[in-house]
Amino acid sequence: MTQHQHIECVEPTVQRHGHQLVVFQCAEVKRSARTVHQWAPLQSRLPEIPAGARAGRRLWDTASMPLVDPGPIIAQAHERGLAVIGANVSTIQMVRGVVRAAEDAQRPVLIQFNRSGLSLIGGVDVAAVVVKSVAEHSEAEIALHLDHADTLDELSAAINAGFGSVMIDGSTLSFDQHLTLAQSAKGLVTWSRLPLEAELGHVAGDEAGVTIGDASWTDPDEAARFVEATGVDWLAVAVGNTHGGPAVGGLQAERLRAIRDAVSIPLVLHGASGLTEDEIQAAVNLGVAKINVGTALHQAAASAMGEWLAGHPSDLRGALSLAEKRVNESVLALLNAPWAK
């Protein structure tokens, strides 16, 4: 099939060409008295399809890779009115602290990397190997999630590295541009059967090393349109939450309730480090099934290292060990909350 061949289509997709993938988007073309659709390549060729993806299985089988599928975990939490922690990390010590907390609490956790975290640890392939290596020595249920990617290339790299779920973030785009990007992302993840998260609205603050300006709260009607048109699996919402700081004027419970009533999929709350325990509990009661925490964990690690190095200026190993311990304690406290799955 070439770029100029016309076929009926309803959404973006990924198709095999030899041993590679090409992402296509659907563009309407008027011809005669009817509307047909034209498949046009959306980006350059993507990497080889992993063998597991061809069979519709997980990229890493549980027999050789201990990372779990986060889809059923989030779905079960949503059904039970609970939430799963999404812990944003950037070092192996943070990974170790999170995994140990999950094992101690006997709760599942999504270990998440955004762009700045990936930059520090060495990229998606290194991140995947690190998390797998730590998780395989634990009985904890650990999933691996890509946070705040804004290009299909980032999604493709994470999928092929073995991430279990991914997020596409077009929240700085117009609604129509964002919808198109999310549709293309859904087409990309469909062949691997991975859950796709998207953010609608605009959570302000500092995320992935980028300072984000004023917040734009999620509109319930737009949320319904967006979810129906894109088929995303999880929706991150802006309801007073802020990246890297306290909630702006507190959690907007009525807005969150309206969003919950407008869509049926699990909701995600970013910027939970700035929320009170009561606000998190209220959010979970209103359909939030994944709670992202990053700032509090990085602050705990940084504070621990500073504390240790103040008394032991040349003992980096001791500083890193204390950072791991403090991250473990922070995550364990969250996992022992009544709302945690």
pLDDT digits (tens, 9 = 90+) for 235-270: 999 998 775 555 556 899 999 999 999 999 999 999
Give dist(CA 54, CA 267) in Å, integer: 30
147 included as an active-site residue: yes
Domain boundaries of the chain, sorted by first residue? 6-41, 56-335
Give dist(CA 93, CA 339) in Å, integer: 26
- pLDDT confidence tier of residue 171, bands split at 50, 70 and 90: confident
- 35: DSSP letter: E
- CATH number of the 56-335 domain: 3.20.20.70
Beta bridge partners of 39: 26
Q: What is the pLDDT of residues 283-317, one digit of tens each?
A: 999 999 999 999 999 999 999 999 999 999 999 99
Dihedral sign from CA coordinates of 109, 321, 113, 245 = positive
* 44-48, 201-205, 268-272: which is most confident: 268-272
Quote the crossing angle between the two packed helices 152-161 and 175-190, to the nearest 10°. 30
Mean pLDDT of the chain: 82
Contact 202, 172 (CB under 8 A): yes
Q: What is the pLDDT of residues 18-39, one digit of tens each?
A: 434 444 444 333 332 323 233 2
Q: Which of 147, 150, 219, 233 is flagged as catalytic?
A: 147
- pLDDT confidence tier of residue 172, bands split at 50, 70 and 90: confident
Contact 108, 68 (CB under 8 A): yes
Neighbours of 9 (CB within 10 A): 16
Contact 185, 170 (CB under 8 A): no
Q: Where are the beta strands (DSSP E) in the chain?
A: 6-7, 13-17, 20-31, 34-41, 84-88, 109-113, 142-149, 165-168, 196-200, 205-207, 210-212, 234-237, 267-269, 288-293
Prediction pTM value: 0.80
